[in-house]
């Protein structure tokens, strides 16, 4: 099981190996590194220089300090389920894998908070406090496998973020290893609203470009007293979109309000968790309300009425927890399910004002026709967060490039409709050029200046989040970067 003997003369590898404890704590052979050449975003693949597996904050700090002093590019990785390429080693980085730091350090029910290490898996937190009636709200679809450290880096969202907010709304404190190896605590003891600048907010969603999070204090919530889930089928996408708008206008804030279109339905029904959606419908809505038991029935009735007024073909309420779980498994495995109808997919992540749903979906439909690639839509309709999934076959020459262009065009459509290019997956490598759809050069420069305060040598996760510099000033700065960091 353990292969501790090192078969290399590389002084950096030999030194790094001494900084980490535990069996087989460094990978450096090409064959072993292959599995780390990408994350959930598979279009760009690059081999890392090595992967190290620290067990605690001190080891992370030592590794970072060593990398910093020797000008070795490095980045942090969790479960590698990210969808924008945030953990792809573009510059032959040393990958600091945080998966062995997976302890639940503390649960404080009285103050409703928990302290976890970054490699702790999202769903495990909810599972380990469920018996006491508590849960952790942010629920990305990858929650079976993704780590809370990764959630912080990407400011992950999820189906239930419509009512409860995204990761940043649930982070109370962080311990961070800065790019020079210093360890910093932000908002120690998880005290809310610590004075000074909102560094928690800055770090959360910084996509691993400002520091490496080694300890996280999160908010935990009491389970809602009651919960009901509705499934509604529509013959026209416009009717489904209208129903979404009308539900919100009726004053209801559902815990989740999800939509899938025809191609997406074909995918989930062909995959491992089908629920028997009719094949000929144009859209399905999954609507969940929760809260105190009194009033839930009225809300459900209101939702049923709204759906009927929006020409719903069929609408039903989940009969029991098992049915509700089946509906959610079908929805939550939606991305991976595309494997059943396409060899590859590229998922996009645009945000638009809810009222623009029909118009943007129409444009996405046109993009699909023009590119000749099928596009499935799975999205958090309630908060206008679209996930167009461009289906393609990387074995067909030119298909990958076509998919990238189609994906970019979808984001342009979102930006043009007054929206944004990412809701929850992050920018990473994938959408860095599209940042120009929403920011001008000055705005981008202001943000890279902030990054450089934390990460002046740009050794930590370089080449992510912001577009390749186009202006002279930034080009000059870029030239100052150490040679091997590029």
Partner 1 sequence: MGLPELEQNRPCNSAGLGNYLWNDPPKEYKWADCVHCGLCLEACPTYEQLGQEQHSPRGRVHLIKSVAEGKLQVNEAFADPVFQCLDCRACTTACPASVDVGGLIEEARGQVRQAMPLSGWKAMASKFLLETLFPHHERLEAAGGLLKFYQKSGLQKVVRKTGLINIMPDHLIEMESIMPEVKTSVRKKYKDINVIKAKEKTKRQVAMLTGCIMDVMFSDVNQATINVLTRNGNDVLIPKNQTCCGALHVHAGDREMGRKLAKQNIEAFESSEKVIVNAAGCGCMLKEYPELFHEEPEWYERAQEFSAKVEDIAKYLYDTGYEIPKAELKTRITYHDACHLAHGQGIREEPRDLLLHIPGVEMVSMPNADRCCGSAGVYNLTHPEMASAVLESKMTHIPEDVEMISMGNPGCMLQMAVGVQKYGRNQRVVHTIQLLDWAYQKEEVQGGKNHGTK
Give the footprint of partner 1 on this chain (CB under 8 A).
1-2, 24, 27, 29, 31-32, 34-36, 38-40, 42, 51, 53, 79-81, 97, 99-100, 102, 119, 121, 123, 142, 144-146, 271-273, 333-340, 343-345
CB of 403 to partner 1, least distance (A): 13
Among residues 40 and 138, whose Cβ is nearest to partner 1? 40
CB of 333 to partner 1, least distance (A): 3
143/158 Cα distance (integer angstroms):
9
Residue 197: partners with Cβ closer than 8 Å, 6 or more residues away: none
**Eight-class DSSP state of 469:** P
Q: What tokens appear for 358 in the block?
A: 């029909």
Among residues 119 and 179, whose Cβ is nearest to partner 1? 119
Q: Which residue has the tokens 């510099």?
A: 469
CB of 452 to partner 1, least distance (A): 32
Angle, helix 237-249 to helix 296-309, in steps of 10 degrees: 140
284/157 Cα distance (integer angstroms):
21
> In this structure, are residues 161 and 381 in contact, taking their beta carbons and an 8 Å threshold?
no
Q: Give me the long-range contacts of 25-32 (CB less than 8 A, separation at least 24).
A: 25/52, 25/53, 25/54, 25/55, 25/100, 26/50, 26/51, 26/52, 26/53, 27/51
CB of 184 to partner 1, least distance (A): 26
CB of 341 to partner 1, least distance (A): 9
Three-state helix/strand/coil letters over 172-221: EEEEEECCCCCEEEECHHHCCCCCCCCHHHHHCCCCCCCCEEEEEEEECE
From the list 20, 50, 58, 19, the residue with the least C-alpha distance to 33 is 50
452/139 Cα distance (integer angstroms):
32
Q: Around 439, how many Cα atoms within 13 Å sit in the side-chain half-sphere?
A: 19
Among residues 66 and 335, whose Cβ is nearest to partner 1? 335
Q: Where are the alpha helices (DSSP H) in 1-147?
A: 11-19, 30-33, 57-69, 122-129
Among residues 43 and 315, whose Cβ is nearest to partner 1? 43
Among residues 290 and 344, whose Cβ is nearest to partner 1? 344
> In this structure, are residues 418 and 405 in contact, taking their beta carbons and an 8 Å threshold?
no
Among residues 395 and 480, whose Cβ is nearest to partner 1? 395
CB of 3 to partner 1, least distance (A): 8
290/473 Cα distance (integer angstroms):
52
403/423 Cα distance (integer angstroms):
20
CB of 292 to partner 1, least distance (A): 30
Among residues 66 and 273, whose Cβ is nearest to partner 1? 273
Among residues 1 and 294, whose Cβ is nearest to partner 1? 1
CB of 407 to partner 1, least distance (A): 15
CB of 270 to partner 1, least distance (A): 9
CB of 2 to partner 1, least distance (A): 8
**Eight-class DSSP state of 281:** -
30/15 Cα distance (integer angstroms):
19
Residue 5: partners with Cβ closer than 8 Å, 6 or more residues away: none
Q: What tokens appear for 415 in the block?
A: 């930006």
CB of 100 to partner 1, least distance (A): 5
Among residues 1 and 453, whose Cβ is nearest to partner 1? 1
Three-state helix/strand/coil letters over 35-65: HHCCCCCCCCCCCCCEEECCCCHHHHHHHHH
CB of 342 to partner 1, least distance (A): 8
Among residues 134 and 466, whose Cβ is nearest to partner 1? 134
Among residues 186 and 260, whose Cβ is nearest to partner 1? 260
**Eight-class DSSP state of 131:** G
Among residues 295 and 343, whose Cβ is nearest to partner 1? 343
């Amino acid at each position: 099981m353990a292969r501790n003997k090192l078969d290399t003369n590389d002084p950096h590898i030999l030194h790094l190996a001494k900084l980490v404890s535990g069996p087989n704590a460094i990978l450096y052979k090409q064959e072993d590194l292959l599995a780390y050449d990408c994350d959930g975003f598979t279009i760009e693949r690059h081999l890392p220089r090595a992967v190290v597996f620290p067990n605690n904050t001190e080891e992370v700090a030592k590794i970072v300090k060593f990398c910093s002093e020797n000008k070795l590019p490095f980045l942090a990785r969790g479960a590698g389920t990210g969808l924008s390429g945030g953990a792809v080693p573009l510059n032959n980085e040393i990958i600091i894998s945080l998966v062995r730091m997976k302890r639940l350090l503390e649960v404080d029910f009285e103050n409703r908070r928990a302290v976890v290490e970054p490699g702790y898996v999202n769903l495990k937190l909810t599972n380990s406090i469920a018996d006491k009636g508590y849960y952790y709200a942010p629920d990305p679809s990858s929650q079976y496998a993704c780590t809370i450290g990764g959630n912080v880096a990407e400011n992950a969202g999820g189906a239930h973020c419509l009512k409860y907010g995204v990761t940043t709304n649930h982070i109370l404190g962080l311990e961070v290893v800065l790019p020079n190896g210093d360890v910093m605590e932000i908002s120690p003891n998880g005290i809310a609203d610590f004075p000074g600048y909102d560094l928690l907010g800055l770090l959360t969603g910084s996509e691993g470009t400002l520091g490496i999070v080694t300890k996280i204090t999160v908010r935990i919530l009491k389970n809602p007293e009651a919960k009901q889930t509705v499934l509604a089928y529509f013959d026209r996408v416009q009717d489904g979109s209208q129903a979404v708008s009308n539900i919100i206008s009726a004053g209801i804030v559902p815990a989740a309000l999800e939509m899938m279109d025809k191609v997406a339905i074909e995918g989930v029904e062909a995959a491992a968790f089908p629920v028997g959606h009719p094949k000929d419908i144009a859209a399905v809505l999954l609507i969940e309300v929760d809260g105190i038991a009194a009033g839930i029935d009225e809300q459900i009735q209101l939702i049923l009425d709204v759906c009927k007024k929006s020409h719903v073909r069929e609408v039903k309420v989940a009969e029991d927890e098992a049915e509700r779980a089946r509906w959610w498994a079908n929805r939550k495995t939606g991305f991976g399910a595309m494997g059943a109808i396409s060899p590859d997919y590229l998922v996009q992540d645009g945000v638009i004002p809810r009222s623009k749903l029909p118009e943007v979906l129409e444009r996405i439909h046109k993009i699909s026709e023009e590119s000749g690639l099928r596009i499935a839509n799975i999205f958090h309709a309630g908060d206008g967060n679209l996930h167009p999934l461009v289906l393609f076959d990387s074995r067909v020459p030119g298909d990958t490039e076509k998919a990238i262009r189609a994906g970019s065009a979808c984001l342009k459509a979102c930006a043009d409709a007054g929206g944004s290019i990412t809701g929850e997956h992050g920018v990473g490598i994938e959408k860095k050029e599209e940042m120009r759809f929403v920011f001008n050069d000055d705005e981008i420069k202001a943000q890279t200046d902030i990054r450089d305060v934390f990460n002046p040598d740009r050794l930590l996760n370089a080449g992510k989040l912001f577009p390749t510099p186009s202006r002279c000033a930034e080009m000059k700065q870029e030239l100052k970067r150490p040679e091997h960091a590029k």
